[in-house]
Amino acid sequence: MKFAYSTLSFRPKSLKEAVDAVAKGGFRCIELMADRPHLFPEDFGAARLSELVQCLTEKNVKPVNLNACRVSALGDGPHPSWLEEDWKERELRIRYTLDCLRVAAALGIGTVSTNGGGPIPESMNQREAWRLFVANMHRITPIAKKLGVRLCIQPDPEQLIRTGDQVLELINEVGEPTALGVDYDPVHALVVGQDPCETLQRLKDAVAFVRLSDMQDPEAHRHVQLGEGQFPLVSFLHCLEECGYQGHVIISVHGGDLPPQDVVAASQDYLQRNGYMQDESL
């Protein structure tokens, strides 16, 4: 398995600062945040995408995922969601996701993350929200398949899709396993009462990549720096090895007020002290 670092850790910083920090921290792979001030699709025409490719090449960093779970440039982060009561708001999410898929294809990135549908509106029950999300996926997946980019759903304890098993059910119903996958966060599995390793075993054929952070308190659902919480990180990494996992593990922690280079260095130090990242390469 290979380790990547997410620019989500540096949401207030510029994209250039984030890329610099990841490269200096020894990570050769990066996840790009599809939001301002990073890679919001509306802001990136051909010229800016070319500049980004040049920057990544110079830093010897490979983009491995485009994260479109939260988009503050269009709303408050989770909104606009896939489940908005107002169809115009839903269209914003759909068009944004399609733009992300196209940008990912242009950059040679094979996956785009999206959230678990969003919070269920008070006017909908579980079944109604599910049917709406499935309908939206039927609109997205043909284009994702044509572009050769996989849309990866991240289960979230506070949204429609809460568990990995629900993602599998969704993928089976939509019927496009090459166009849909799982953005697997073992912390989220633990928050909803599932064993992270057992869940990984059930999902492994659908998991596109694994997202890694630590967690201080399951009830608070707050992702923290590696080694600063209660999540059994080393045991889970051993589980990945035992499963024969060969994909990317994306480090996604809250950067706080620390300088970006310090945040990345702390993650790298934790991994190296536990026997990982000894010889990272693309």
**Which pLDDT band, with edges at 50, 70 and 90, does 31 fall under?**
very high
**Which pLDDT band, with edges at 50, 70 and 90, does 254 fall under?**
confident
pLDDT of residue 71: 94
pLDDT of residue 76: 87
Summarize pLDDT for 152-205 with one digit per residue, the tens.
Answer: 999 999 999 999 999 999 999 999 999 999 999 999 999 999 999 999 999 999
Is the backbone peptide bond immediately before 155 cis, with ω within 30 degrees of 0? no
Q: Which of 94-98, 126-130, 134-138, 278-282 has the lowest mean pLDDT?
A: 278-282
Residue 174 C-beta-side C-alpha neighbours within 13 Å: 29
pLDDT of residue 218: 65
Count of C-beta atoms within a 10 Å radius of residue 220: 10
Contact yes or no for 210/249 (Cβ under 8 A):
yes
Tell me which of 172 and 254 has the higher pLDDT.
Answer: 172
Contacts of 100 (CB under 8 A, 6+ apart): 34, 41, 66, 68, 112
Q: Identify the CA nearest to 26 among candidates 205, 268, 204.
A: 268
**Which pLDDT band, with edges at 50, 70 and 90, does 216 fall under?**
confident
- Give the 3-state secondary structure percentages of the chain, helix then strand then coil, rounded to 5: 45, 15, 40
Contact yes or no for 13/258 (Cβ under 8 A):
no
Q: What is the mean pLDDT of the chain?
A: 93
Q: What is the pTM of this model?
A: 0.94
Tokens found for residue 91: 């269209």
The domain locations on the chain are: 2-273
Residue 51 C-beta-side C-alpha neighbours within 13 Å: 9
Summarize pLDDT for 73-92 with one digit per residue, the tens.
Answer: 999 878 999 999 999 999 99
pLDDT of residue 261: 85
Q: What are the DSSP E strand ranges found in 1-120?
A: 2-6, 29-33, 62-67, 111-115
94-128 exposure pattern, b = at least 16 Cβ within 10 A, e = fewer:
bebbbbbbebbbbbebbbbbbbbbbbbeeeeeeee
CA distance linking residue 66 with residue 50, whole number of Å: 16
Assigned CATH class of 2-273:
alpha beta
Count of C-beta atoms within a 10 Å radius of residue 54: 10
**Which pLDDT band, with edges at 50, 70 and 90, does 277 fall under?**
confident
CA distance linking residue 3 with residue 271, whole number of Å: 10
Summarize pLDDT for 127-158 with one digit per residue, the tens.
Answer: 999 999 999 999 999 999 999 999 999 999 99
